[in-house]
Amino acid sequence: MKKLRKRKLGDWVFDIIIYVILIALVIVTLYPMWYVIVLSFSNSTDITKYTGIVLWPERFTLGAYQMVFEHPTLMASFKNTILVLLGSLPLSIILTVLCGYFMASKGMLWKKAVVGLIMFTMFFSGGLIPGFLNIKSLGLYNTLWALIIPGCISVYNSIICKTAIETIPESLSESAYIDGANDIQVIFKIILPLIKPTLAVLTLYYGVARWNDWFQASIYIKDTNLLPIQNIIRAVLLENDIALNSAGVGDNFNTYAETLKYAAIVISTVPILCIYPFLQKYFTKGVMIGAVKG
Amino acid sequence: MSNLVSFGKRAGQDFKKNKYKYLIVLPVLAYFLIFHYKPMYGIVIAFQRFRASVGISGSPWIGLENFRRFFNDIYFWRVLRNTFTVSALTIVFSFPMPILLALIINEVQVKWFKKTVQTISYMPHFISMVVVCSIINSFCQTNGILNEMIVFFGGERTNLLSEKEMFYPIYVISDIWQTIGWDSIIYLAALSGIDQEQYEAARVDGAGRLRQIISITLPGLLPTISMLLILRLGSILSVGYEKILLLYQPLTYEVADVISTYVYRKGLVDADFSFSTAVGLFNSVINIVFLLVANKVSKKMGQSGLF
Amino acid sequence: MKRKRISQLLGLVLTFSMVFGMVGCGDQNKANNSEDASVQSNADTEKEEESEKEAEAVSEEITYPLDTTDTLTIWSKNQIKPVASYADYTESPFHTGLAENTGVEVEWTYPAEGAVADQAYNLLLTEDELPDIIFTNVTSGEAEQLINDGVIYDLTEYLPVYAPDYWETIHKDEYVNVLQSLTTDSGKFYGVENFCETEYNVTYVGPVIRQDWLDELGLETPVTMEDWENVLVAFKENYGATLGFFTARLNNIGIGSGTGAYGTFSTNFYVDENGKVQLAQAQQEWKEYMAYLHKWWDMGLIDKDSITMDDAAVRTKVLNGEIGVSFTACSQLTAWVGDAEAEGTGANWVGFDYPRTAAGEPTCMIQARYSGSQGWCAMVTTSCPEDKLITALKWLNYGYTEEGLMYWNYGTEGVSYYLDENGQPQWTELVTEDPDGASNARVKYNGTSGTGISIQLAHMVEIGFAEAAAEAVYKWIDNTEASDHCLPMISMTDEESARYSDLMTSINTYVEETGMKFMTGDVSLDDFDAFVEELNGMGLEEALEIQQAAYDRFME
């Protein structure tokens, strides 16, 4: 509040504009989200009556949630997802930093070749079946390792990391070399503390990608009790949709069918939303380069 | 011969000098070799009529037939044009939005408000495409919320999704809604690395807030922006099929049908690995060309580029 | 093709709906649904005698439960799956009961939860060790390929001996048209096919109308297109209601019969009087049909949201009284009836006949030919040793025996069903009062709610619908005399089908696109000739030739 000293008129106008824009953004973002939440607490018959602006469920019910939670393997799948996250996040972050550091370094004879080799995989892949056979031959098939190791380095994220490392003045690492440090020490002592915000972003990117992924598991996992949460959620959605649209056989209709998908979204979103506040503190400005050095 | 010798010498020196760097990249390289290069032989199915039951070794070779099928299709140019259009529109309109948002959020002084806005703005990232599209669909119906607004402003009720002219606006605006918060995170991280002393100095010089943004904040973001833009251009043909498939219908095919939906409609995404691999190869080549050109331009303009 | 297209419109997540996407059909074979399928066909055709002779020669009496220690593994592409509330098949009453009744322990596997089924199938095929039985949807061309690749057994010699009840079933009179489609081009039997009892099982879409409004206005049920128009105008004036539909429901058949057209927005082939295969959309009748739709569109008689509405959206409008006439499926109709009761709207939805060119004329309706088989079949892989093959076939045979047929359809008597005073099976309260809902409950006890390794009985399907929906099906089946124009399940060679699907992707897109534009007026019907010319430019003639060749082979 000390900063209030003397504010110019321009600053006031500037602030007002900013707040108006942000509040508008919040409303526009929130309404559809709210819509999802309202639908998840409704029953399907009521949904059919909603038109125009919907602010509150017609008849509040937890029926859809109950149906999702009654899925026999939902809880096991939560556990699997957590295990995959615990296993893959440290691995991903470490390898990505290593990759980013190499890409940001200069003066190696083989740098171009190695970076080219890595970048190439952004565009070309062997495809589904060779990938599947590869995982099988490595003995990873139908284990959680198949969800942890493949995909643990994203080239895209490595480039993000590389860009962050490049913003660190070279003089810092050079003085470390003169003090007799090697590259590994430089990474841990100098680089890592300085790219904390980027590490937070990478954690978020990897974490959310793993959290949302169902495809890898649908190929590499056979046992239902090893599947991650998204596969179960997806199965709930799919079954529900078949039920709604199958024709010919039976009415296949239940009260929560339509609301199920909204409840499933809420359930699969809330836990990952909780991570953000913990990472948020790394995004506050003021990480001063000088401060870390001393 | 002497070239070879001197090369060997250089290689030896290089290895000596950079051994830790090579050591560091070794696990990374091992990962890519095992999980990406080992199965890379699968690309050859683009030149086969692949059958899973006999595998790659048993499937018949058909040369460039899959490519010919793609290029000779009457809709080839249409889907190519639409893919470029959709991509270009998202680059022009969706790409800058997270930057703007990050800049604005950065100016907010009230902490709780700042955190709340951030958290809310990135929530849409988690809503699956199916649900996003069913929301869009219900908002666009003749009695949906958008039409209520149109009527309020004296317009005429139409089903917005069956209007050819409305497809791109709907696609792009919903894309902004989905991505603005999430994509701003990386810019916020980059902003936190900008030296605060610069702002102090600017204030002493009497620079206004807008002035500070233009001369300090934006340049600080430039490396991140140029990197992401290059990467975005490197996926110019990779417009996913999920969203379009859920939003388009025959009346809007003309503008909405893209390569991925075309492949999907061909009924071949799951069954005909060969054709989709061939199309994928084509996409990759175009994407790489764009990436290389963008990288070059970026370097010319004084940015560091990707490599 | 049809199945594919529907699922595309329904979106990604509905890929599985292909299973049910078989379009219904009426034909000359009007079996009474009350006829129990276990009643032996009384006509002994030559074919049957032949096969019986063959079977008698070697077939042994099969009694269940079998006396065997063999266990089987089966991979099923998401059919015959335990309901989601069970962790796996060992908890499912149907699956455990089946093991008990047949005396064979079976290990059931499916694509992983949430996986893309077709992809899972392709990955499965890459494995060295396959499950003994694979239950999936294949074309005869694919099956031939699998036999040649040594992946599955050619069952031609085994079936009459070890699956005699199945063999008898497929040689019954009512399936005589189908028999050919159960073999590959070279005449090999490749699996045990899923069957439907009558056309009732596969007929599930048709026109529906608010009878209460008709009564209030003193109007007759519309017959011709003019009648339709009058009713639509009256509904619009009096109730502000329109003709509204989900295009995927209308696409294949629709109400084109009102002008003698054989399809709506999806390409539809039919056989004309001269035995020539034709595309419905290239005919004058279709132009007239489109002219009607365009006129109604302009008059505001068709709901403007119809192009983007799905079942759920239609249901909303139905409940709100914004739709007076529609074109929908039994399952939806059942839901609408339930809504009307729950909300007390007083709406009385009934199914009615497809429109005709003139009163007294046949409806000229053409639905997909009722074929008995739905294209799903259980194939025995070569990973199953030859001695176990016998157990596998006997096990597969169970669903076609008198006892097995009842079990696959209704479960266990006294548990999930009872016989009413007419000797008809009815669900017990265990099913009807199940907290998971009756439709889920049925799947707990039977194996033919989707496709199973048995015959899906019409009565089983019928007792799952609301009364209005069950009756509607009879309306839709009745008076559909144009089945001769229906293309049978023809099979193409590998090359033909590759070329054909290549040509048809563009043609399908173009027809769908332009059809809708004709309706909305984005393209004038004056350009109809140019439209046909464009189709020819896209290779329509070649596609027709391929169809014709396959059709001619079939007719031989």
pLDDT digits (tens, 9 = 90+) for B229-284: 999 999 898 888 888 988 888 889 999 999 988 888 775 544 678 888 899 899 99
Fold of the C204-367+479-555 domain: D-Maltodextrin-Binding Protein; domain 2 (3.40.190)
Distance of CA C383 to the CA centre of its chain: 31
How many whole angstroms separate alpha carbon B285 and alpha carbon B291?
Answer: 10
Cβ of A51 and C320 within 8 Å? Answer: yes
CA dihedral A171→A176→A177→A179, nearest 10 degrees, is 130
Tell me the pLDDT band of C331, cut-offs 50, 70 and 90.
confident
pLDDT at residue A146, rounded to an integer: 94
Query: Residue C326 forms beta bridges with which residues?
Result: C208
Give the nearest partner residue to B74 out of C11, C501, C506, using CB atoms. Answer: C506
Fold of the A71-292 domain: MetI-like fold (1.10.3720)
Higher-confidence position of C462 and B92: B92
How many whole angstroms separate alpha carbon C453 and alpha carbon C409?
Answer: 10
How many whole angstroms separate alpha carbon C205 and alpha carbon C253?
Answer: 9
Cβ of A110 and B148 within 8 Å? Answer: no
Residue C440, pLDDT > 50, answer yes
CATH number, domain C71-195+370-461: 3.40.190.10
Asked if residue A279 lies in contact with residue A204, where contact means CB atoms within 8 angstroms, the answer is yes
Cβ of A183 and B108 within 8 Å? Answer: no
Selected residues 191-220 of chain A with any CB under 8 Å from a CB in chain C:
214, 217-219
Q: Does C4 touch chain B (CB under 8 A)?
A: yes
pLDDT at residue C133, rounded to an integer: 96
Q: A1 to chain B nearest CA, in Å? A: 9
If phi > 0 it is left, if psi is from -120 to 50 it is alpha, else beta; for residue C211 that is: alpha
Q: Does C502 touch chain B (CB under 8 A)?
A: yes
How many whole angstroms separate alpha carbon A18 and alpha carbon A9?
Answer: 14
Q: Which tokens belong to B257?
A: 């049908």
Q: C298 to chain A nearest CA, in Å? A: 25
Residue of B nearest to C151 (CA): B53
Rounded to 5 degrees, φ, ψ at C96 are -70, -40
Q: Does C498 touch chain B (CB under 8 A)?
A: yes
**Chains with at least 3 CB pairs less than 8 angstroms from chain B:** A, C
Give the nearest partner residue to B250 out of C116, C513, C538, using CB atoms. Answer: C513
> What SS3 state is found at A227?
coil
Q: Does C24 touch chain A (CB under 8 A)?
A: yes
Asked if residue A273 lies in contact with residue B119, where contact means CB atoms within 8 angstroms, the answer is yes
Global pTM reads 0.83
> What SS3 state is found at C193?
strand
Q: A3 to chain C nearest CA, in Å? A: 54
Query: Residue C195 forms beta bridges with which residues?
Result: C373, C455
Tell me the pLDDT band of A193, cut-offs 50, 70 and 90.
confident
Q: Which tokens belong to A56?
A: 């509150």
Residue B119, pLDDT > 80, answer yes
Mutate which: B116, B185, B287, vs A, most A CBs within 10 A = B185
Domain positions in chain C are 71-195+370-461, 204-367+479-555
Averaged pLDDT of chain C: 81
Residue of A nearest to C442 (CA): A250
pLDDT at residue C236, rounded to an integer: 94
Tell me the pLDDT band of A257, cut-offs 50, 70 and 90.
low
Give the nearest partner residue to C114 out of A129, A234, A242, using CB atoms. Answer: A234
Q: Does C464 touch chain A (CB under 8 A)?
A: yes
Q: Which tokens belong to B304?
A: 């560091």
H or E segment and range at residue B290: helix B273-300
Averaged pLDDT of chain B: 87
Q: Average pLDDT for residues A7-11, to the nearest whole number?
A: 71
Q: Which of A158-172, B4-18, C524-538 has the lowest mean pLDDT?
A: B4-18
Q: Which residues in chain B touch residue A136, judged by CB atoms under 8 angstroms apart?
A: none
pLDDT at residue A239, rounded to an integer: 64
Q: Which residues in chain B touch residue C15, judged by CB atoms under 8 angstroms apart?
A: 270
pLDDT at residue A108, rounded to an integer: 86
Cβ of C84 and A245 within 8 Å? Answer: no
Residue C117, pLDDT > 50, answer yes
Selected residues 172-211 of chain C with any CB under 8 Å from a CB in chain A:
201-205
Q: Which tokens belong to A198?
A: 């980027």
Other C-beta atoms closer than 10 Å to the C-beta of A5 total 6
Give buried/exposed letters for B91-117 (b at 16+ CB in 10 A, else e): eeebbebbbebbbbbbbbeeeeebbeb
Residue A52, pLDDT > 80, answer no
Q: Which residues in chain C touch residue B158, judged by CB atoms under 8 angstroms apart?
A: 304
Q: A45 to chain B nearest CA, in Å? A: 16
pLDDT at residue C26, rounded to an integer: 31
Q: Does C274 touch chain B (CB under 8 A)?
A: no
Cβ of C506 and B249 within 8 Å? Answer: no
Give buried/exposed letters for B262-301 (b at 16+ CB in 10 A, else e): bbbbbbbbbbbbbbbbbbbbbbbebbbebbeebbeebeee
Q: B283 to chain C nearest CA, in Å? A: 20
pLDDT at residue C73, rounded to an integer: 95
Chains A, C: CB contacts under 8 A, how many?
160
Asked if residue C102 lies in contact with residue C93, where contact means CB atoms within 8 angstroms, the answer is no
Residue B43, pLDDT > 80, answer yes
Higher-confidence position of A64 and C148: C148
Q: Which residues in chain C touch residue A238, judged by CB atoms under 8 angstroms apart?
A: 13, 16, 114
pLDDT at residue A242, rounded to an integer: 43
Q: A44 to chain B nearest CA, in Å? A: 15
Q: C10 to chain B nearest CA, in Å? A: 8
In sequence order, what are the residues at sequence separation of 6 or more whose Cβ sits closer than 8 angstroms to the Cβ of residue B282?
A: B67, B70, B237
H or E segment and range at residue C325: strand C323-329
Which is it for strands C242-243 and C192-196: parallel, antiparallel or unpaired? unpaired
Q: Which residues in chain C touch residue B137, judged by CB atoms under 8 angstroms apart?
A: 308, 310, 313
Q: Which of C47-56, C442-451, C486-495 has the lowest mean pLDDT?
A: C47-56
Q: Does A238 touch chain C (CB under 8 A)?
A: yes
Q: Does B53 touch chain C (CB under 8 A)?
A: yes
Domain positions in chain A are 2-40, 71-292
Q: For C179-200, how does the pLDDT look when each residue is reduced to its tens digit (9 = 90+)?
A: 777 888 788 899 998 888 877 7
Chains A, B: CB contacts under 8 A, how many?
247
H or E segment and range at residue C208: strand C205-210
Higher-confidence position of C481 and C211: C211
Q: B250 to chain C nearest CA, in Å? A: 4
Q: Does C145 touch chain B (CB under 8 A)?
A: yes
pLDDT at residue B275, rounded to an integer: 87
Cβ of B126 and A284 within 8 Å? Answer: no
Cβ of B141 and C522 within 8 Å? Answer: no
pLDDT at residue B101, rounded to an integer: 93
CA dist B73 → B255, B305, C319 (Å): 17, 37, 44
Tell me the pLDDT band of C5, cut-offs 50, 70 and 90.
very low
Cβ of B246 and C515 within 8 Å? Answer: no
How many whole angstroms separate alpha carbon C299 and alpha carbon C306?
Answer: 15
Asked if residue A239 lies in contact with residue C84, where contact means CB atoms within 8 angstroms, the answer is yes
Q: For B29-41, how does the pLDDT look when each residue is reduced to its tens digit (9 = 90+)?
A: 999 999 999 999 9
H or E segment and range at residue C209: strand C205-210
How many whole angstroms separate alpha carbon C78 and alpha carbon C16?
Answer: 8
Give the nearest partner residue to C311 out of A217, A237, A244, using CB atoms. Answer: A244
Task: Tell me what percent of the residues of chain C surpass a pLDDT of 90.
Answer: 37
Cβ of C516 and B249 within 8 Å? Answer: yes
Residue B99, pLDDT > 60, answer yes
Residue of C nearest to A73 (CA): C87
Selected residues 76-95 of chain C with any CB under 8 Å from a CB in chain A:
84-88
Segments of C114-202 assigned E as strands: 133-137, 192-196
CA dist A86 → A83, A208, B27, B264, C235 (Å): 5, 13, 20, 35, 62
In this structure, which amino acid lies at residue C381? T
Q: B104 to chain A nearest CA, in Å? A: 6
Q: B282 to chain A nearest CA, in Å? A: 10
Q: Which residues in chain A touch residue B268, judged by CB atoms under 8 angstroms apart?
A: none
Q: Which residues in chain A touch residue C320, judged by CB atoms under 8 angstroms apart?
A: 49, 51
- Closest Cα partner for A167 from B230, B106, B191, B233? B191
Other C-beta atoms closer than 10 Å to the C-beta of C532 total 18
Q: For A221-254, how does the pLDDT look when each residue is reduced to its tens digit (9 = 90+)?
A: 988 889 998 888 887 776 655 433 333 333 334 4
Mutate which: C190, C505, C522, C534, vs B, most B CBs within 10 A = C505
How many whole angstroms separate alpha carbon A132 and alpha carbon A152?
Answer: 16
Residue of B nearest to A187 (CA): B24
Cβ of B185 and A204 within 8 Å? Answer: yes
Q: For C271-312, how does the pLDDT look when each residue is reduced to its tens digit (9 = 90+)?
A: 888 889 999 899 998 999 999 999 999 999 999 888 888 887
The ipTM assigned to this model is: 0.85
H or E segment and range at residue A26: helix A9-40
Give the nearest partner residue to A71 out of C84, C123, C469, using CB atoms. Answer: C84
Tell me the pLDDT band of C480, cut-offs 50, 70 and 90.
low
pLDDT at residue C15, rounded to an integer: 31
Tell me the pLDDT band of B97, cut-offs 50, 70 and 90.
very high
Residue C23, pLDDT > 70, answer no
pLDDT at residue C483, rounded to an integer: 63
Q: For A74-98, how does the pLDDT look when each residue is reduced to its tens digit (9 = 90+)?
A: 888 889 999 999 999 999 999 999 9
In this structure, which amino acid lies at residue C394? K
pLDDT at residue A66, rounded to an integer: 81
